[in-house]
Copies of this chain bind each other. A is one copy, B any other.
């Protein structure tokens, strides 16, 4: 869509808001106050109402109300790089004194010299080497503490905010709204499962057992008689693209009835969800707001949304236009 349609859309929404205030609808409790009163919002509330109203044909019992959410770019931001990569970069710097060889060895050399472009040019093998060097070798409990310590101090390079403040306020409301309607909310992310679990309950209200993500292998050991799980530098599972339905099946064993993503990496998760019998809801968050957040889709290296956008249009899935549909992006903008 071009800018003219955006403006027209925004105007239409504003008029709707004015009209609904006139009708005293503002007096009702609005579970999604950061969402403009547009078809996007209505598509969500209509779906929830349909599946939670006992006696109607489309009613779904609460045990089957499973909603899955991608994380990067869907629940929190993912620019100018995945936040977990920023964590890996900071870990390289913190661990460098113990690894003098990194000064001469790529991709570590480039990281230490602040040359992230060269790191990214190394592609997946370079990223993988960084992740293994920074995410393995400790116990699960030690790693959780390292993540928490980092989140408490690290700042996003452009907003200067803590990373956990860069979660989308409208999506927080959506998570609560679904849970209030007896949905179970899960994260299904390409990000590391143990990178997310230490903070998802505090930030999103999603407990560790409802977080699915990529993982490295762990090994049970007795250390001085004390059992620990040691994190090994070996990939266990990549929870992305065709891996997402696999991860969902492995962890939940039930097909979700609602799925929320923002990139082609989420397409198979949405397809898997949509293919179930009965009412289903699929939604893409489209990053359209270059002013308040970032604008990117078909050509982006991070969070590329191309095939997914086509399929959403073809199948009539809901597409959130962040610029038009969201009153605020982050809580700190309120």
Contact = CB atoms under 8 A, between A and B. Distances in A.
B254 A208 contact: yes
A201 B254 CA distance: 12
Contacts of A194: 253
Interface in A80-102: none
Of the four ranges (under 10, 10 to 19, 20 to 34, 35 or more), the interface on chain A belongs to 20 to 34
Contact of A211 (B220, B253, B268): B253
A23 to B, nearest CB: 41
A253 B219 contact: no
A312 interface: no
A220 B208 contact: no
A55 interface: no
Contacts of A253: 193-194, 197, 207-209, 211
Given A208-B253, A209-B254, A249-B140, A227 B197 contact: no
B193 A219 contact: no
21 contacts: A63-B207, A184-B209, A194-B253, A207-B254, A208-B252, A208-B253, A209-B253, A209-B254, A211-B253, A215-B250, A218-B246, A219-B242, A220-B242, A220-B245, A220-B272, A226-B275, A227-B268, A227-B275, A229-B249, A236-B250, A251-B251
